[in-house]
Amino acid sequence: MADGGGGVLAGLRRGAGYTQVTFVAEFAREAARLCIDASVSVRQLRRWESESPPPLPHPGQQAVLEAMFGLPLADMGFVVPSHRRTFAGGIGDDEEVRRRAFVTGPGAIAAAAILPNRHGPRIGASDVAAFRAGLVDLYAVDHRSGGIPAKARAQQLEQRITRALSGSVYTSRVGRDLQTMVCEIACHRAWFGYDGGPPEEARAACMEAMMAAQLIDDPLLQVRALNTLSLLSVDAGRMWEAASAIEGAYRLAHQAGAGPTVHLVISLREASAAGQAGDLPGARRALSRAMSYQGRTDTDPDVPRWARFAGPVEVDYATAAYHATEGQPARAVPFLRSAVAGLGGGYTRNTAWYRARLAQTLLHASEVEEACHEMTGVLDACGGVSSARLRSRLRDFGRSAVRVDAPAARDVVERIREATREGDR
């Protein structure tokens, strides 16, 4: 598509709502989010848009441009040599699913030292390891059984660690480890509340987690809490708050030198928030950014446990959500199928969640028999999952299916009524 010269890029820029000045500023922000050392001036942008053929951007500029527009550089009017060409399928390809402050000083924390006048049991490294094992187990409970039982387990563990902090004797290192775990549990409770409700408890846990992360000076735990806050804000219709949480997460991740996996999680949250707000260009840019990060996750040396879920499955799921939001459920279906197929063992809740979304999307695409087949599989498998969000998704399917005059739909609607009644008891 080089025939149009720089006019193609100018049209893309104007279509995205940028002036030349605001485009240069957004280019700088995008480069910072992608951790790429690249910039562009208004003068250079004018050359790209006025000359035919326009001067070829250097590789760093190419990566930023492709992330901003979700298009290969060759589709922006540039003549690109073969070794610099990127795959042209992109998000919209419907052939096959492609792969794509409070900073504590020494001794500032009250529990940071062994105090000679304190009495109580001594807490050491073995105790910390036992608490940590309980914390890791929360992930398994959540994946297997959902947020409601996981939240109860988290509250019990939090009480045990809080008692240790309040009534035991320990070194400064052990004290910091315990406080970090209390912060991680607050992050867990925020997510479990998002999955299982009620939303006001989830929001309170989110705020608690952010404060605790500030107290121990852990920016990545702040990022985790902000990611969950963005989800809660979208559900509450507070789109401006979701956007602020995402921008704050990007800023903290950049300051902390976080790798591509953490940035991938943030970009997925951004895509979800933009889609829910009806900002399809913003959602597409965020998905392009997510694909860029996902392509670099294999070089990530140190991924926090809470971010390890992010990968091709979540990118597929987010891409499907994008197509569903733009009113093209048939294009969403192959991405959802790929996401369901890519989930490994132990993800019972997510498998049920994703398959329920697939069933709902098939129904919207008028594939009634296949939709009911998928939903029957969900109902067969989700008996041990306790998740308010999953029940809500089942009810949504039931409300849509009840309008379909087909025996399979009537059977599934009745099973959904039974399943959700039992779950509400």
Please state, in angstroms and rounded to a whole number, the distance separating the CA atoms of residues 410 and 309. 36
Q: Tell me, what's the pLDDT at 228?
A: 95
Share of the chain above pLDDT 90, in %: 42
Whether the per-residue pLDDT at 88 is higher than 50: the answer is: no
Q: Tell me, what's the pLDDT at 422?
A: 53
Using alpha carbons, select from 415, 417, 391, 341 the residue that is nearest to residue 195: 391
Q: Tell me, what's the pLDDT at 96?
A: 36
Q: Tell me, what's the pLDDT at 207?
A: 95
Q: Tell me, what's the pLDDT at 131?
A: 92
Q: Is 352 exposed, middle or buried (0-12, 13-18, 19+ CB in 10 A)?
A: buried
Lowest mean pLDDT: which of 93-97, 118-122, 165-169, 417-421? 93-97
- pLDDT band at residue 37, thresholds of 50, 70 and 90? confident
Whether the per-residue pLDDT at 326 is higher than 50: the answer is: yes
Q: Tell me, what's the pLDDT at 376?
A: 87
- pLDDT band at residue 115, thresholds of 50, 70 and 90? very low
Please state, in angstroms and rounded to a whole number, the distance separating the CA atoms of residues 138 and 196. 14
The answer to whether the beta carbons of residues 220 and 256 sit under 8 Å apart is: yes
For residues 358-370, give the mean pLDDT.
89
Q: One-letter amino acid identity for 36? A: I
